[in-house]
Copies of this chain bind each other. A is one copy, B any other.
């Protein structure tokens, strides 16, 4: 594991904790963020002993979103031939998106543990996560519209596929703040806890509960939810039948049943490393 600088990395058994660690800037996503996140995810995704991850933020806020200084280099593009600048700009955006797509590619769930501000690219980030919990003081804002841009690293694509699209649209057009309580009502966060510490405790509990499950079944749920989101029901059913045709074998089932009879927790083996 290479040492990141934007993130502080912690590990507790099968659970990893990625802490955005730039509190003096409200964890504004600098260039380091965008290169470290996909690299970390790729590394963790290849380590079968990792079963769940938590992302949180140091300091008073989860994250204030994109650090605009990261745009400095990009702006230079616009001095060049405009058609080629458009092409290069498209590639830049695809690269940024890829940082969040990396969360979808790991075989384990990633939990966003949110407190304080979660705005701009912070919303893009949490919509790429598998579950979200928040403290009572958390708030959410798709505030890109306030700086004259359409959010382009995932919110407009993923938020309406997590909650009622009518709500996602209102948030995107107005850029208004939604409270943790509202977010709970939308279904965006699955629980609201008293404060940052309580969120942290709850996130670890949730992560450990996930980590005790069969990692093969968890990986199957993750991939099949993503597939189902993007396909018809008929396609989704065929896909999971093909998936479980190969991956549902007696082992985990028996381990679970026997553990239940013995009133113990089942121990499921890790995934295999493919290479």
Contact = CB atoms under 8 A, between A and B. Distances in A.
Interface of A: 68, 71, 73, 75, 77-78, 80-95, 97, 101, 107, 109, 130-132, 144-152, 154, 156-158, 160-170, 172-174, 186-188, 190, 206, 209-210, 213-214, 216-221, 224-226, 228-253, 255-257, 260, 266, 268-269, 271-275
27 contacts: A75-B250, A84-B216, A84-B247, A84-B271, A90-B241, A90-B244, A90-B246, A94-B241, A130-B173, A131-B166, A131-B170, A146-B256, A147-B260, A148-B253, A149-B244, A150-B244, A152-B241, A152-B243, A157-B224, A157-B233, A157-B240, A160-B228, A160-B229, A161-B228, A163-B165, A165-B225, A166-B188
Q: Is the interface of A mostly helix, strand, loop or mixed?
A: helix
Contacts of A225: 156, 160, 165, 168-169, 172
A210 B170 CA distance: 11
Given A145-B218, A217-B149, A236-B157, A244 B162 contact: no
Contacts of A71: 253
A245 B83 contact: no
A239 B245 CA distance: 13
Contacts of A109: 173
A97 B241 CA distance: 9
B166 A166 contact: no
Contacts of A163: 164-166, 187
